[in-house]
């Protein structure tokens, strides 16, 4: 069988946390929509989150499937059904167990790929084995980097930088002069440098981003790394209907009609959306400060609270540890706000005209979704590369204000010693939501970027063109292979 007669097979291997898995799955669906035969590797519990979208694509004759491998819960010492770094990982011990399970699963991913090789691999950059495995199979490997290029370049610039003992410093060798108030945890930067440099050995990287947002950092990245980058996002724009945006992965804790009808009752740009992503967990004391700051700001809001799912066992005394007495009932009676405990339909909310600001942890998916919706941000980074993303928002593009967090945690359950007080929260909210000149300028700039994001995925746009070029290159590479090598891949 000749190379042109067999469909091109592309395998996607995600890192099992929603912030990595969801955008990579959405990018995989873009390839399937172009006729590429896509297989997405996952585990049973994670497959349940993706199955509905897969079934929809299959019904539309898009060639996508799931390859489901058993998650090694018993070997990792955790209960069955906990298979990513969000669902059920409620404490540091369980989180450690999930990480152990993912490490065991890496070998099983590789074994499955070796048994039935594809034409190309797309692997999360967290896994540093992609290029070696691809070399064994004589196929190309593409790394998926879940950051933005600005953050990748910042991490690269600091790899041999002599950090000051304390106090602010300038990140060296970047196109912009970027000031950091304090240094990142050494463990984080060193771990990221090793993974980023391992990704240089692949045949390029893809990103859930659009070229106009990273700007000159695409050229800067290719200069310092000698590595090709392709922006093919924002991936979230694959969702068109309200139902798709609501049921993107996890089941929403608030009904679509309830959320939309409340927002419909509000004036344009009058509501603040507050959400710190899937992995941030604040102390009760910090949640109390957030509630107090929102209340004193007088702004209407939707506040998504992770780790505080509604249970019949929560007493009034326990509730008052993390919000003022009567707070939830008061904002509901006065029609001032909604408190959502658990997962929220973020794309649906951000896209509503009533949303005028977004208080965010600066995880990359949330950043690109906020920008795509044209919403200015209040930046509250917590861990990982979020502090670099904050600088892209506030110092490079000028589309947000910093709340002033003073602690760079290593991971989800670290940190919490330095509180962001209610007065700083109130000040930041008023700065974005008060309709002043600075707020209007931010709104104008982010609106222009949002327009460019939508144009990027249209035919002829930068991301659409990048995806076309990448698919063309991959197919040409396979056509150039000797026939006997192609037939081995068919076995």
Please say whether the dihedral angle defined by the alpha carbons of residues 414, 151, 365 and 119, taken in this order, is positive or negative.
negative
Q: Are 452 and 464 in contact (CB under 8 A)?
A: no
Query: For the sheet containing 120-124, what is the strand order?
Result: 64-68, 37-42, 9-13, 120-124, 141-145, 205-207, 229-231
CA gap 420, 416 in Å, rounded: 9
If we measure between CA atoms, which residue out of 428, 429, 302, 297 comes closest to residue 355? 302
Comparing C-alpha atoms, which of 415, 418, 286, 414 is closest to residue 359?
286
Q: What gap in Å lies between CA 79 and CA 474, rounded to an integer?
A: 41
- 360: phi then psi, degrees, rounded to nearest 5: -135, 155
Name the β-bridge partners of 141. 121
The active-site residue out of 124, 227, 231, 239 is: 124
Paired tokens of 36? 């590429």
Q: 308 near 290, Cβ under 8 Å?
A: no
361, with CB counted inside 10 A (0-12, 13-18, 19+), is buried
Q: How many residues does the chain have?
A: 491
The rounded distance, in Å, linking the Cα atoms of 374 and 450 is 5
20 is catalytic: yes
What gap in Å lies between CA 137 and CA 188, rounded to an integer?
32
- Residues annotated as catalytic are 20, 124
């Amino acid at each position: 069988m000749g190379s042109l007669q067999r469909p091109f097979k592309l395998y996607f291997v995600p890192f099992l946390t929603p912030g990595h898995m969801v955008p990579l799955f959405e990018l995989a669906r873009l390839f399937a929509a172009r006729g590429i035969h896509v297989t997405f590797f996952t585990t049973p519990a994670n497959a349940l989150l993706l199955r509905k979208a897969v079934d929809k694509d299959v019904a539309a004759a898009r060639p996508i499937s799931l390859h489901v491998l058993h998650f090694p819960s018993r070997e990792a010492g955790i209960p069955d059904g906990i298979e990513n770094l969000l669902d059920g990982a409620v404490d540091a011990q369980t989180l450690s167990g999930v990480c152990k399970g993912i490490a065991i699963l890496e070998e099983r991913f590789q074994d499955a790929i070796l048994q039935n090789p594809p034409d190309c691999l797309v692997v999360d950059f967290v896994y540093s084995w992609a290029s070696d495995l691809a070399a064994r199979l004589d196929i190309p490997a593409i790394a998926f980097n879940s950051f933005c290029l600005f953050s990748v370049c910042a991490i690269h610039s600091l790899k041999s930088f002599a950090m000051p003992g304390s106090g602010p410093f300038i990140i060296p060798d970047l196109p912009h002069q970027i000031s950091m108030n304090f240094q990142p945890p050494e463990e984080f930067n060193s771990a990221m440098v090793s993974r980023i440099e391992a990704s240089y050995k692949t045949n390029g990287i893809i990103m859930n981003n659009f070229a106009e947002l990273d700007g000159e950092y695409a050229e800067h990245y290719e200069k310092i790394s000698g590595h090709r980058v392709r922006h093919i996002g924002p991936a979230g724009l694959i969702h068109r209907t309200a139902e798709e945006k609501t049921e993107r992965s996890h089941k929403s804790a608030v009904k679509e009609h309830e959320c939309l009808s409340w927002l419909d009752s509000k004036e344009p740009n009058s509501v603040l959306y507050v959400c710190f992503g899937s992995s941030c967990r604040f102390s009760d004391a910090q949640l109390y400060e957030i509630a107090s700051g929102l209340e004193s700001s007088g702004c209407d809001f939707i506040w998504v609270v992770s780790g505080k799912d509604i249970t019949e066992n929560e007493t009034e005394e326990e509730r008052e540890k993390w919000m003022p007495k009567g707070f939830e009932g008061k904002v509901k009676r006065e029609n001032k706000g909604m408190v959502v405990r658990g997962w929220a339909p973020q794309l649906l909310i951000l896209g509503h005209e009533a949303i005028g600001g977004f208080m965010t942890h600066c995880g990359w998916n949330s950043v690109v979704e906020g920008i795509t919706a044209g919403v200015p941000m209040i930046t509250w980074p917590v861990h990982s590369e979020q502090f670099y993303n904050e600088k892209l928002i506030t110092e490079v593009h000028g589309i947000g204000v910093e709340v002033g967090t003073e602690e760079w945690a290593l991971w989800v359950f670290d940190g919490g010693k330095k509180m962001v007080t209610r007065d700083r929260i109130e000040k930041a909210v008023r700065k974005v939501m008060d309709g002043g000149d600075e707020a209007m300028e931010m709104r104008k700039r982010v609106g222009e970027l949002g327009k460019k994001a939508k144009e990027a995925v249209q035919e002829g746009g930068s991301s659409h063109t990048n995806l076309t070029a990448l698919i063309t290159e991959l197919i040409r590479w396979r056509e150039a292979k000797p026939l006997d090598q192609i037939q081995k891949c068919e076995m």
